[in-house]
C-alpha cells in the first residue's frame, strides 16, 4: 500500500467519510444474503477493534452478535451504518457495496439501527419522535411545509399513517401524545425501536435492546422483536448481553473475542463450543447452558 500524503485526509480513518459513490440500484431483485460482512478489519491508532470478521445475514434471519465488553460488537454496527470506514474488507447490502457511503444514504437504502443509550428527543411526543424516522421519505421543502398545501399536506398525512401503524404494532397508543422524557424506561426503548421501524428498513440493527430492563420489560421487547421478524419479515442483527434472550430468539450466533471471530453457529452449537465457553459464556458447558 502506498503511504498516504500527510497533507491529505486519511482514507482509512474510522471517522473519515469520502464522497458518496452513489450506489446504483440492482437491475433485478437481489438473491442471496441481504447483508454481507466480508473479512473486515478496523483499527484505531494501532488498536485493532475488528480483526478479519466475516458473516452474512439471510432475508428474515435474526443473527445475534455476542462477546465480552470491547469485543468489537458496536464497532461492527458503526461500520454497517457508515460511521466508521474499515481498513480492509467489504460490506454489501443486497449486493451493493456500502464502504464509503454516508450514513444518511445507508439509512435511506434500508438499514436502520437503535442504540445502547436511548437517543430520543425528550421534549417531543411519542408520535413526533416516530415521525423523525420518516425523514428520508419526505420530499417537500420548508416553504411547502409552512403553507401546508398540496404535496406537503399529502406526504405529511401519508407519513403519519405509517407512524400510526407503528404505534399500533408496538402497543404505544396509551403514550402517543406524551413527551418521551416522562415515559418509563422500557417504553422509551420501545419508542426507539418504533422510530427505526418507521424508516421501513429491510435490515434492522439492534444494539442491546433490553439493556437495563426488568424482567417484564425484557419479555415485552422479546415479543416485539419476534413480531418484527415474523410479521414484517425484516432481517435483524442484534448485539445483546442477555444470553437467555439471545439463545431464545437467534437463528444463528456470532461470537467475538478481542475483535476476532470465535464461532458462528446455531445457539445450541455455540453453547457447546469449548472456545466460546472459555471466551465468554463461562468455565464449563454446564455453566454456559445456564447463562442468561
Q: Where are the beta strands (DSSP E) in the chain?
A: 35-44, 47-57, 62-66, 88-93, 96-97, 111-113, 203-207, 235-239, 252-257, 260-265
On whether both 55 and 166 belong to a single domain, the answer is no
On whether both 179 and 250 belong to a single domain, the answer is no
Which residues form the domain of 75? 28-110+203-211+235-292
pLDDT for the residue numbered 16: 45
pLDDT for the residue numbered 30: 62
17 within a domain of the structure (yes/no): no
16 within a domain of the structure (yes/no): no
Query: 201 phi and psi, to 5 degrees?
Result: -80, 165
pLDDT for the residue numbered 258: 86
On whether both 34 and 106 belong to a single domain, the answer is yes
On whether both 44 and 180 belong to a single domain, the answer is no
264 within a domain of the structure (yes/no): yes
pLDDT for the residue numbered 180: 96
**Domain closes at, from 177, 200, 223:** 200
Angle at 68 between CA 66 and CA 74, to 5 degrees: 60
On whether both 105 and 124 belong to a single domain, the answer is no
Tell me the average confidence (pLDDT) per consecutive run of 10 residues in the chain, 292 residues long. Answer: 40 44 48 93 90 96 92 93 94 95 93 90 95 77 61 78 95 96 95 95 96 93 96 96 93 93 93 81 46 40
Contact 177, 127 (CB under 8 A): yes
Q: Which three cell numbers stand for residue 24?
A: 446504483
252 within a domain of the structure (yes/no): yes
Single out the residue of 17, 22, 85, 24 nearest to residue 49, CA to CA. 85
On whether both 136 and 106 belong to a single domain, the answer is no
Amino acid at each position: 500500500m502506498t503511504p498516504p500524503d500527510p497533507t491529505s485526509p486519511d482514507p482509512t480513518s474510522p471517522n473519515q467519510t469520502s464522497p458518496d459513490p452513489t450506489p446504483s440500484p440492482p437491475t433485478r431483485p437481489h438473491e442471496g444474503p441481504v447483508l454481507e460482512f466480508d473479512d473486515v478489519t478496523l483499527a484505531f491508532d494501532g488498536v485493532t477493534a475488528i480483526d478479519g470478521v466475516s458473516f452474512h445475514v439471510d432475508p428474515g434471519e435474526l443473527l445475534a452478535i455476542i462477546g465480552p465488553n470491547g469485543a468489537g460488537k458496536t464497532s461492527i454496527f458503526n461500520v454497517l451504518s457508515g460511521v466508521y470506514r474499515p481498513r480492509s474488507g467489504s460490506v454489501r447490502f443486497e449486493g451493493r457495496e456500502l464502504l464509503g457511503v454516508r450514513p444518511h444514504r445507508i439509512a435511506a437504502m434500508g438499514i436502520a439501527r437503535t442504540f445502547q443509550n436511548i437517543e430520543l428527543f425528550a421534549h417531543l411526543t411519542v408520535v413526533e419522535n416516530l415521525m423523525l424516522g420518516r425523514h428520508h421519505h419526505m420530499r417537500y421543502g420548508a416553504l411547502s411545509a409552512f403553507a401546508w398545501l398540496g404535496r406537503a399536506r399529502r406526504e405529511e398525512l401519508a407519513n403519519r399513517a405509517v407512524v400510526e401503524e407503528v404505534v399500533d404494532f408496538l402497543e404505544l397508543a396509551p403514550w402517543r401524545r406524551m413527551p418521551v422524557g416522562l415515559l418509563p424506561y422500557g417504553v422509551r426503548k420501545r419508542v426507539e425501536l418504533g422510530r427505526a421501524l418507521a424508516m421501513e428498513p429491510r435490515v434492522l440493527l439492534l444494539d442491546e435492546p433490553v439493556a437495563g430492563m426488568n424482567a417484564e420489560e425484557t419479555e415485552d421487547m422479546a415479543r416485539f422483536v419476534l413480531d418484527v421478524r415474523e410479521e414484517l419479515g425484516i432481517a435483524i442483527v442484534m448485539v445483546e448481553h442477555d444470553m437467555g434472550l439471545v439463545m431464545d430468539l437467534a437463528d444463528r450466533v456470532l461470537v467475538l473475542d478481542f475483535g476476532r471471530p470465535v464461532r458462528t453457529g446455531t445457539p445450541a452449537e455455540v453453547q457447546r463450543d469449548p472456545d466460546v465457553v472459555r471466551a465468554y459464556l463461562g468455565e464449563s458447558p454446564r455453566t454456559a447452558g445456564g447463562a442468561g
